[in-house]
Chain A
């Protein structure tokens, strides 16, 4: 049926030019680049291989329960963001993954956390060995009062590695991976404390990367940094995703939206909702999540 309205301009059927993204033709021309690997359907995302299985985890500080029945899966080579208001348990859960909560005497934990196939709370687990499979970056950068070189090499030295060549290679590799190499390669013997805040945090990231962990745990790594340093570290997380799995705790929702593939929302020790980040931030299933991320409370 032809349209006879002269006012109505008919656009010529034009062929849409084949657009490429980074030299590759995507299947669907308008998908944002980072999602071309992951199909949009939830089912196939869930079948991506999980490296962390958190099952029915409960935690008490003395008499007070802080985590209630947490069930969470983290897929390999993805970034999982844990968001929620202060005191909701996200940092507590993060510290359970590398058993740093063991350092607090009054903590009691039930449930299982599996890294790969191994339950890390089994009675015969060597906590020291477990921590070598995890790298942790803290809220306030905490480099040791040693040289830059010694900071990065620390994790290897305590494992007994002494050969200069091995350490040199590891230091260079880690500093390149954390984007600090070009800035410090001529002053590796200078103290780590002489760097700026953002550089110190990247140094801490390099230090964690040097031991080649499987999972990188980041506890609000950018909260003490200015926006430029923050965005550098967020870029870094994109690149690190290729080789590591990252769990990041953040109270900055924009950061969670920018950086993560999956987001888990916590409230008062309970996991309220978890899902693909773009789903959670455009159309969350739970009203509380919607209210939180829109800033209606918390």
Chain B
């Protein structure tokens, strides 16, 4: 007992306890990340295609899940059979007892395509103009060589559709508004009409080109057959990837994995966000966080400066400070409602009336957009920045301010040259905290500018390049939408995990940048200080 007393008094018990709690925290974080990672990263690895016989006929697909026997229900296997256009549903639960003759045929393929989800079956033939030019295995090889060309063609069509035709559309629209305005003023619309003709001509030309390309794309087709003998013909250009899952070695599977991962990061989504990439969401998230940071830092820093340096330190200021700190506790959805009412309808509506009245009733800024969403989040995170900045400003020693003033500096010069640089590491801490909070909030965004599928991105090649009135996509919202709102939740589940992992990664990278910047500032300030 005495030994225990000694051990206790020495504080070793507390050391162990604190170590244990740290370990527990690390375990929880690690567990969370690990769980997401395992569930998400495995998503892209090609799984074997299993064929089995059932009383209703052969079934071919990936085994995606299984259930143990419970009470009266027997053990079941879930097959991902794809072919939604043929079967009507992607997944089938089949009792284990009904299955026999398992095999993994080498010629079974999983075809990722632009519509209707994946097709699981066998390649029958590659046709041109309706006539087969290769059959069976040769067809598979031929598809392999032509696929990249077809994909490129498809991308060109896509690009012309979105960019060129889209740009033309907006120009035509702008011209229409100008014409309308000129008509109201009674001015001459001759030159405008001429321009309109030109634009119409370009539009027609683009449409014509699109038509040619589409025909070209549609020329080559692939005929596929399902496990139970039904056939389906697809244009080659509508195939994204063809995966003979059972015939691939590790190297082949790795290549497929990397290809899918790349697509996930850099491509647009398709099939209502359950397939394809999430690049617009990544871009939207990053851009929103950046705009939010640009808005929140000046707002928070200037407010803190006023509270700390210029305002009279009385009871009113203390109350104000308490109010600001309490802002941090307001639920984020409340901020969303405020953003909707004040920014979107209030300020946005006024801007529309003043500057974009000719576009009304189509709202420009009077509806959700990346600007309002960033502003709302900036308001949400401003208390964090204010608190951190105030601490940082207070940590600049009085002796340095006195030294500056004694040399004949004004108060503003002292703030600009001594106080702010000294407080910069602390301000960046506030920014890091703000970014971490802002990147993860989803509720306020839903009300102020995030959409499931955005037609265009807020930053693109057409003037004025930065479109703050556009709606955008966001990874957090994507998770919610894909996981819980999509028509095909089963297919989407792994994607949810992958998106969550990516969101974590984006936040970590943003934080690392800020941390590096902060340590550089700290080094330049000669080290020292808690911030």
Contact = CB atoms under 8 A, between A and B. Distances in A.
| Chains A and B touch (C-beta atoms under 8 A apart) | yes
Given A142-B399, A192-B526, A193-B526, A207 B407 contact: yes
Given A145-B422, A191-B526, A193-B528, A204 B403 contact: yes
**Most chain-A CB neighbours within 10 Å: which of B408, B413, B421?**
B408
B402 A138 contact: yes
Given A138-B403, A144-B403, A154-B409, 12 more contacts: A98-B406, A128-B408, A128-B409, A134-B406, A135-B406, A142-B402, A145-B526, A154-B407, A158-B404, A191-B525, A191-B526, A194-B526
Nearest to A207: B407
Contacts, number: 77
Range of interface residues on B (Cβ < 8 Å): 20 to 34
Interface in A149-181: 154-155, 157-159
A142 B417 CA distance: 15
Nearest to B407: A155
A207 B399 CA distance: 14
B397 interface: yes
A154 B417 CA distance: 9
B171 interface: no
Interface of B: 397, 399-400, 402-410, 413, 417-418, 421-422, 524-528
A241 interface: no
A103 B405 contact: yes
Nearest to A151: B403
B209 to A, nearest CB: 59
A114 interface: no
Contacts of A211: 407-408
A145 B405 contact: no
A131 B409 CA distance: 8
B interface majority secondary structure: helix
A161 to B, nearest CB: 12
A74 interface: no
Contacts of B413: 158
A140 B399 CA distance: 8
> Which 5 A-B pairs have CB atoms at the shortest separation, nearest pair first?
A193-B526, A132-B408, A136-B406, A145-B525, A142-B399
A207 B410 CA distance: 17
B62 to A, nearest CB: 61
Nearest to A193: B526
Contacts of B406: 98, 100, 131, 134-136, 138, 208
Nearest to A136: B406
A124 interface: no
Nearest to B528: A193
9 contacts: A103-B405, A128-B409, A145-B524, A145-B525, A154-B407, A158-B413, A192-B526, A208-B406, A211-B407
Given A158-B413, A193-B527, A193-B528, A142 B400 contact: yes
Contact of A142 (B403, B408, B526): B403
B400 A144 contact: yes
A94 to B, nearest CB: 11
B111 to A, nearest CB: 63
Interface in A71-113: 98, 100, 103
A130 to B, nearest CB: 8
B75 to A, nearest CB: 69
B417 A158 contact: yes
A129 interface: yes
Interface of A: 98, 100, 103, 128-129, 131-132, 134-136, 138, 140, 142-146, 154-155, 157-159, 191-194, 204, 207-208, 211
Contacts of A103: 402, 405
**Most chain-A CB neighbours within 10 Å: which of B418, B421, B526?**
B526
Nearest to A191: B526
B407 A131 contact: yes
A132 B525 contact: no
Nearest to B522: A145
Nearest to A142: B399
B249 to A, nearest CB: 58
B405 A154 contact: no
Contacts of B417: 144, 154, 157-158
A155 B408 contact: yes
Nearest to B399: A142
B363 to A, nearest CB: 49
Nearest to B525: A145
A103 B525 CA distance: 26
Given A103-B402, A140-B399, A142-B399, A158 B526 contact: no
Given A142-B402, A145-B526, A191-B526, A208 B421 contact: no
Contacts of A194: 526
Given A191-B526, A194-B526, A131 B403 contact: no
B319 to A, nearest CB: 20
B405 to A, nearest CB: 7
A85 B399 CA distance: 23
Contacts of B421: 145-146
Nearest to B523: A191
A191 B528 CA distance: 12
B403 to A, nearest CB: 5
B104 to A, nearest CB: 67
Contact of A158 (B397, B400, B409, B528): B409
B411 to A, nearest CB: 9
A134 B403 CA distance: 12
Contacts of B527: 193
Contacts of A134: 406
Nearest to B418: A144
A40 to B, nearest CB: 37
Contacts of B399: 138, 140, 142
B407 A100 contact: no
Contacts of A193: 526-528
A136 B410 CA distance: 16
Contacts of B422: 145
B405 A100 contact: yes
B507 to A, nearest CB: 30
Nearest to B400: A142
A253 B136 CA distance: 106
Contacts of B418: 144
A143 B417 CA distance: 13
B528 A132 contact: no
Contacts of B397: 142
Nearest to B416: A158
Contacts of A132: 407-408
B406 to A, nearest CB: 4
Contacts of B410: 128, 158
A204 B399 CA distance: 12
B497 to A, nearest CB: 46
A243 to B, nearest CB: 18
Contacts of B524: 145, 191
Nearest to A129: B408
Contacts of B526: 145, 191-194
Contact of A208 (B402, B407, B525, B528): B407
